[in-house]
Amino acid sequence: MLGGTTFTSSTLTSTAVYERDGEWFVAYCPEVPGANGQGRTKDEARESLAEAIAMVLQDRREDGLRGVPPEAEQETIRVEVPGAA
């Protein structure tokens, strides 16, 4: 809980890009700069990337809400992105 806001789980659909680096798969998400993952298999890289995306977004949310006055209104919105896969 931060500033009267309770964080709950939600689902995010994003792009994962995988590249080979020797025996490793390296993954990144173009929509979330700084979110990267790796693993010996594509599944491991996907799981690592998903964890990284969650950590980056949680950190950005907490950082963005720091200093928000208690009287400020907050709500959750749903965003539809045209042309997204």
25-34 LR contacts (CB < 8 Å, sep 24+):
29/53, 32/56, 32/57
pLDDT at position 11 is: 77
Whole-model pTM?
Answer: 0.77
Asked if residue 6 is part of any domain, the answer here is: no
| Range of the structural domain that residue 26 is part of | 18-65
Number of domains forming the structure of the chain? 1
Asked if residue 28 is part of any domain, the answer here is: yes
Asked if residue 26 is part of any domain, the answer here is: yes
Q: Which residue has the higher pLDDT, 69 or 5?
A: 69
| 3-class secondary-structure state, position 84 | coil
Whose structure tokens read 């977004």? 57
| 22-68 pLDDT per residue, tens | 999 999 999 999 999 999 999 999 999 999 999 999 999 899 999 99
Asked if residue 7 is part of any domain, the answer here is: no
What phi and psi, each to the nearest 5 degrees, are found at residue 61?
-65, -50
Asked if residue 2 is part of any domain, the answer here is: no
Asked if residue 3 is part of any domain, the answer here is: no
